[in-house]
């Protein structure tokens, strides 16, 4: 279980994806993007727009069930490239690096970029925007929803 939680809003996610696109512009041109599903799909769409890339594929590597991590397995391989040459791999986060190791093994010549990186996985990616601690669980906007929270003063009186 994580000891810290960091909530990313839709606005923040968009800003971070655009910042990553800025960094990636220097390394192009790219043939296309391979998004790691599911977390990489939305950042990949934003980056594809910013870099004017029309070719977008996916690779699905299943690693997590909620906050529990298991052994990664490829549920759907990428089909646009044999080794990733000329392609960007986009994901939302590199955590322990288990997904990144699998994808790197399949697409060793691609440029691997994530929005967020934890120390254990950071050496496996080529580009990222923000580093977070290993003990932080990032709550992405597609995993959360706004809800009412009682004011602090009211919660103190109810305790």
The one catalytic residue in 11, 16, 83, 92 is 92
Let me know if 84 is exposed, middle or buried by CB neighbors in 10 A (0-12, 13-18, 19+). Answer: buried
The one catalytic residue in 57, 65, 68, 95 is 95
Partners of 96 in the beta sheet? none
The one catalytic residue in 16, 91, 143, 158 is 91
How many Cβ atoms are within 10 Å of 142's Cβ, its own excluded? Answer: 14
Q: Which residue in 105, 103, 115 sits closest to 45, CA to CA?
A: 115
How would you classify the pairing of strands 56-65 and 68-76?
antiparallel
Known active-site residue 158? no
Known active-site residue 83? no
The catalytic site residues sit at: 91-92, 95
């Amino acid at each position: 279980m994580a000891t810290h939680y960091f909530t990313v809003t839709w606005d923040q996610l968009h800003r971070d994806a655009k910042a990553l696109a800025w960094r990636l512009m220097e390394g192009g041109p790219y043939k296309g993007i391979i998004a790691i599903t599911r977390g990489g799909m939305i950042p990949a769409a934003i980056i594809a727009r910013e870099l004017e890339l029309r070719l977008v594929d996916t690779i699905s590597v299943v690693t997590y069930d909620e906050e529990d991590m298991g052994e990664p397995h490829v549920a759907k391989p990428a089909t646009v490239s044999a080794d990733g040459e000329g392609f960007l791999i986009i994901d939302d986060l590199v955590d322990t690096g288990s997904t990144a190791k699998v994808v790197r093994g399949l697409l060793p010549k691609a440029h691997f970029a994530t929005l967020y990186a934890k120390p254990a996985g950071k050496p496996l990616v080529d580009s990222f925007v923000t580093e977070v601690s290993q003990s932080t669980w990032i709550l992405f906007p597609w995993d959360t929803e706004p809800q009412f929270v009682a004011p602090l003063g009211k919660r103190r009186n109810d305790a």
